[in-house]
């Protein structure tokens, strides 16, 4: 379905806090990587570490058209490295966008990177440690997320996502119809947005939870010293926590994570048959511009006061995206 026809069919866009998908995954020949082993034990065993020592051997750099119709040009690995859009520095992984070229707003979009893990997972505890995430900039739409093949039938979990000048993170599930989560035991600190059914409207809107923390996303996250996002995905629940760097639990730092000790999560999805709706999901990082979300809400944001066109703004203001980058200490995946 085109985004235009989707908008026409959508009865409500809520206070610019829409929950559009970060985008279907890209699986050559419609095949994904083998699913990782699932453990029934309540203990958490480290099964994968992604960091500066192995990043490009464990992720594919995807030079593809943007599924979310953004004003972006995803470059290949060689181009990304030549332009410095992906690089290893001080034992951290930098992934950013072009900040020098003035572009034709009707032409190819701004150079950026999109990466997808070679490995896929069913269930797991994903803990991502960030020194910096893309700042809150007009036109920008970054995401750290997981997605299965044959979208939306094998699900999507958006762990970090936002657009334009937002500073409140949004966690969203997208699925086929029939996943209507409740709030799990212990509650959640965030508030629900979007549809009750994660698969309503073809899965495009999803069921989201917006953080109540003004430092959970973008520029404010970085000014607060970075931090950790942890996503726990089991057959009975999907939960996401955010910790400012100074507040990261010791059991995360020492490699023995204990979610039972972490307090209330930002998002706490329960009551859905997650095993039927979410499976074989890969990890993705990307930064796009405008498109189905940032572009769709542009006119109702303060950004429109600077330029009435999202694409024109992004094309003409390369210097505005100097802090539109990920700086990752590590991503660790534990079995559950």
- pLDDT tens digits for 295-326? 999 999 999 999 999 999 999 999 999 999 99
Q: Using DSSP, how many helices (H) and how many strands (E) does the chain show?
A: 7, 19
Domain assignment present for residue 241? The answer is yes
Q: Other CB atoms closer than 10 Å to residue 141's CB: what's the count? A: 31
For residue 96, the enclosing domain spans 50-335
Neighbours of 63 (CB within 10 A): 16
37 is a catalytic site residue:
no
Query: What's the rounded Cα separation, in Å, for the pair 107 and 110?
Result: 9
Residue 20 lies in a domain: no
CATH of the domain at 278: 2.60.120.200
| Strand order from edge to edge, sheet including 114-121 | 59-61, 114-121, 281-289, 140-147, 156-161, 170-174, 207-210, 191-194
Q: Are 162 and 168 in contact (CB under 8 A)?
A: yes
Supply the pTM of this predicted model.
0.90
For 223-232, letters b (16+ CB in 10 Å) and e give ebebbbbbbb
How far apart (Å, rounded) are the C-alpha atoms in residues 182 and 269?
Answer: 6
pLDDT > 90? residue 16? no
161 is catalytic: yes
Domain count, the chain: 1
Residue 27 in any domain: the answer is no
Q: Is residue 141, in this structure, part of any structural domain at all?
A: yes
Question: How far is Cα 66 from Cα 33, in angstroms, rounded to an integer?
Answer: 21
pLDDT in tens, 19-72: 678 876 654 444 333 333 333 335 899 999 999 999 999 999 999 999 999 999
Query: Which of 60, 66, 129, 156 is an active site residue?
Result: 156
User: What would the pLDDT profile of 218-272 be if each residue is shown by its tens digit?
Assistant: 999 999 999 999 999 999 999 999 999 999 999 999 999 999 999 999 999 999 9
- Using an 8 Å Cβ cutoff, are 22 and 142 in contact? no
Q: Are 64 and 26 in contact (CB under 8 A)?
A: yes
CA gyration radius, the chain: 18
| Residue among 48, 161, 286, 292 flagged as catalytic | 161
pLDDT of res. 197: 98
The reply to whether 8 falls in a domain is no
Q: Encode burial over 118-134: b for 16+ CB neighbours within 10 A, e otherwise.
A: ebbbbbbbbbbbbbbbb
In a domain, 22, yes or no: no
Q: What is the pLDDT of residue 116?
A: 98
Interval 144-155 mean pLDDT: 97
Cα gap 278→149, rounded to integer Å: 10
Percentage of the chain beyond pLDDT 70 is 89
Query: φ, ψ for residue 335 (rounded to 5)?
Result: -75, 155
Task: State how far the alpha carbon of 22 is from the alpha carbons of 153, 157, 173, 177, in Å.
Answer: 15, 9, 10, 18
Cα dihedral across residues 25, 158, 311, 221: positive or negative: negative
pLDDT, position 29: 42
The pLDDT value given to residue 19? 61
For the chain, the residue count is 336
**Strand-pair partners of 333:** 48, 126
Q: Is 269 helix (H, G, I), strand (E, B) or coil?
A: strand
CA-wise closest residue to 146 among 175, 182, 112, 167? 175
Whether residue 61 is contained in a domain is answered as yes
């Amino acid at each position: 379905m085109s985004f235009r026809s989707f908008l026409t069919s959508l009865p409500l866009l809520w206070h610019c806090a829409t929950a559009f998908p970060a985008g279907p995954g890209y699986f050559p020949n419609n095949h994904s990587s083998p699913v990782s082993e699932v453990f029934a034990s309540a203990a958490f065993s480290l099964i994968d570490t992604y960091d500066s020592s192995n990043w490009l051997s464990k992720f594919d750099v995807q030079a593809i058209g943007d599924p979310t119709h953004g004003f972006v040009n995803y470059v290949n690995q060689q181009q990304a490295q030549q332009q410095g859009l992906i690089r290893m520095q001080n034992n951290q992984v930098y992934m950013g966008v072009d900040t020098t070229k003035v572009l034709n707003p009707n032409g190819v979009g701004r150079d950026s990177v999109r990466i997808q893990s070679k490995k896929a997972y069913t269930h797991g505890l994903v803990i991502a440690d960030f020194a910096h995430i893309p700042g809150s900039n007009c036109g920008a739409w970054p995401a750290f997320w997981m997605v299965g093949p044959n979208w939306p039938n094998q699900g999507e979990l958006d762990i970090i996502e936002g657009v334009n000048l937002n500073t409140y993170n949004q966690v969203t599930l997208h699925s086929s119809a029939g996943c209507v989560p409740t709030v799990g035991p212990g509650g959640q600190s965030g508030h629900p947005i979007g549809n009750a059914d994660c698969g309503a409207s073809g899965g495009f809107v999803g069921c989201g939870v917006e953080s109540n923390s003004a430092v959970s996303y973008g520029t404010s996250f970085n000014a607060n010293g970075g931090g950790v996002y942890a996503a726990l995905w089991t057959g009975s629940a999907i939960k996401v926590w955010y910790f400012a760097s100074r507040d990261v639990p010791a059991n995360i730092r020492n490699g023995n994570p204990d979610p039972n000790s972490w307090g209330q999560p930002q998002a706490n999805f329960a009551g859905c048959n997650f095993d039927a709706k979410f499976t074989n999901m890969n990890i993705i990082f990307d930064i796009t511009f405008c498109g189905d979300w940032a572009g769709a809400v542009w006119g109702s944001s303060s950004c429109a006061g600077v330029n009435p066109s999202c694409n024109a703004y992004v094309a003409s203001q390369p210097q505005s995206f100097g802090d539109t980058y990920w700086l990752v200490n590590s991503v660790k995946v534990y079995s559950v």
